[in-house]
């Protein structure tokens, strides 16, 4: 069995369209990169190995990754939506990432692409307001699209401004149950803010 880490960037910028593992690949740098990355596992597949391409969304953890990089701006009350804020962010809690990997290793019927995201993606604006609400901080200082592109270049455009509204159809069909399917409870647990 071979579990390969991939990403939801495979689907490209698709707006509010629901995407699952049967959806076609998108266009752009991340879509091309993930398609080529997944194709690199072809020799294992041809040798008869069960291969699972785990297409991860934004992995959230309090002490690392994307959330840790965002928290200083939120704590200072300087955060806000990126661009128009309508882009969907498909996400997953780190605790569920570990459980998904274990499930992929153990579940013999799971093969091919599997979206490792919760069933409840949110828009960037919803994400921003949720963190702001939990931390009791304003979220009025948005960053317009041109500023994101100027500061972060193509990576900012491809990672922060594109919309991936992805559902984990194959994980759910194979019997996986998320411990943290909803954003607010997941963030409250990560940030130690129960109330």
Mean pLDDT of 71-100: 95
User: Which H or E run includes 18?
Assistant: strand 18-19
Distances (CA, A) of 115 to 29, 100, 122: 19, 10, 16
The CATH number that domain 2-191 falls under is 3.40.50.720
Instruction: Write the Ramachandran bin of 153: left for phi over 0, alpha for psi from -120 to 50, otherwise beta.
Output: left
CA atoms within a 13 Å half-sphere pointing along the CA-CB vector of 47 = 8
Task: Give the model's pLDDT for residue 179.
Answer: 98
Mean pLDDT, the chain, rounded, equals 93
30-41 pLDDT, tens per residue? 899 999 999 999
50-61 pLDDT, tens per residue? 999 999 999 999
Read off the pLDDT band of 151 (50, 70, 90): confident
**Domain residue ranges in the chain:** 2-191
- pLDDT at residue 20 greater than cutoff 80: yes
101 vs 142, residue with greater confidence: 101
pTM of the model: 0.92
């Amino acid at each position: 069995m071979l579990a390969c880490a991939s990403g939801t960037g495979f689907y490209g910028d698709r707006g509010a369209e629901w995407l699952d593992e049967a959806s076609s690949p998108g266009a752009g740098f991340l879509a091309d990169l993930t398609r080529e990355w997944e194709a690199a596992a072809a020799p294992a597949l041809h040798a008869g190995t069960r291969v699972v391409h785990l297409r991860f969304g934004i992995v959230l953890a309090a002490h690392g990754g994307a959330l840790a990089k965002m928290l200083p701006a939120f704590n200072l009350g300087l955060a806000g939506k990126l661009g128009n804020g309508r882009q969907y962010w498909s996400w997953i809690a780190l605790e569920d990432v570990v459980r998904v990997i274990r499930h992929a290793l153990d579940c013999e019927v799971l093969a091919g692409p599997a979206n490792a995201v919760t069933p409840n993606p949110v828009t960037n604006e919803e994400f921003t307001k949720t963190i702001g609400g939990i931390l009791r901080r304003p979220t009025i200082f948005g960053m317009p699209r041109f500023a994101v592109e100027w500061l972060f270049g193509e990576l900012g455009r491809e990672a922060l401004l594109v919309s991936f509204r992805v559902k984990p159809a194959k994980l759910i069909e194979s019997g996986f149950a998320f411990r943290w399917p909803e954003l607010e409870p997941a963030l409250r647990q990560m940030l130690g803010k129960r109330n």
